Amino acid sequence: MEKKKKRTILRSVILVVLVAAIVYTVYSSATKDKVEVLKEGAEAPNFELVDLNGETHRLSDYEGQGVFLNFWGTWCEPCKKEMPAMDRQYATYKDQGVHVLAVNIAQSDFEVQNFVDTYGLSFPVVIDKTKSVMTAYNINPLPTTMLISPEGKVEKIITGEMTEKQIASFMESIKPE
C-alpha cells in the first residue's frame, strides 16, 4: 500500500509538471504578440528626456506624484483632439500633485514647438529622439497614455483617444493621498 501511494504521488507530480509546462507555453505564446509587454502593475521604467525649453525631466524625480505620461505625434489625429482637454485638466490637477508629461516620438523641434504654440499647451513636452523611451515602454499605436502612480507603478495603459471626462477621472486616480 505504501508503495502504491508513493507511485501515485510520483506520477501525479510528473504529470502536473508536464501539464504546467504546456499551460505556460500556450499562455505565454498567446500573450506574446500583444502590444503591452509592459504590464499594468509593473514598475514604470525610468527615463530621462529633454523638453522644448532645454529642461531635463527624469521620471524618478516625480516620485510621490502621479504622472500622466502621454505618447503622441503631430500627425496623429486623436492626439490633436485630446491634447487641449489634457491641458485643461492639467490646470486643475497640477496643484494636486498630478504631472502631465507628453512624449513626442522623434519629430523635429520645429514641428513639436509649432504644435505646442498652436494649441497653447502648458505642460512639458519632451522629444524621444532615439525612440529609446518608446522602445522601453513598448509603445505601438499613438496615442498611448500610461498612468503612473506616486509609487512609480504603471496603474493603467490606455491606447487610443480619451474623452475629457476620462482624462479627469484618470488624473483623479493617480492623485497622491
| Residue number, 80 or 156, with CB nearest to another protein | 80
Cα-Cα-Cα-Cα torsion 53, 163, 159, 156, nearest 10 degrees, comes to 90
| Residue number, 133 or 171, with CB nearest to another protein | 133
Q: How far is the CB of 61 from another protein (least distance, A)?
A: 11
| Residue number, 30 or 177, with CB nearest to another protein | 30
User: Of 70-129, which residues contact another protein (CB under 8 A)?
Assistant: 73-75, 105-111, 113-114, 126, 128-129
Per-residue exposure over 57-80, b if at least 16 CB sit within 10 Å of its own CB, e if not: bebeebeebbbbbbbbbbebeebb
- Residue 44 three-state SS: coil
Report if residue 35 touches another protein, rule: CB under 8 A. no
Q: Kindly state the number of chain residues that form the binding site for another protein, as judged by CB under 8 A.
A: 49
Report if residue 162 touches another protein, rule: CB under 8 A. no
Residue ranges with strand state E in 89-174: 98-105, 125-128, 144-148, 154-159
Q: Are 42 and 151 in contact (CB under 8 A)?
A: no
| Residue number, 32 or 54, with CB nearest to another protein | 32
C-alpha cell at 114: 509649432
Q: How far is the CB of 28 from another protein (least distance, A)?
A: 4
- Chosen residue from 6, 34, 39, 131 binding another protein by CB under 8 A: 131
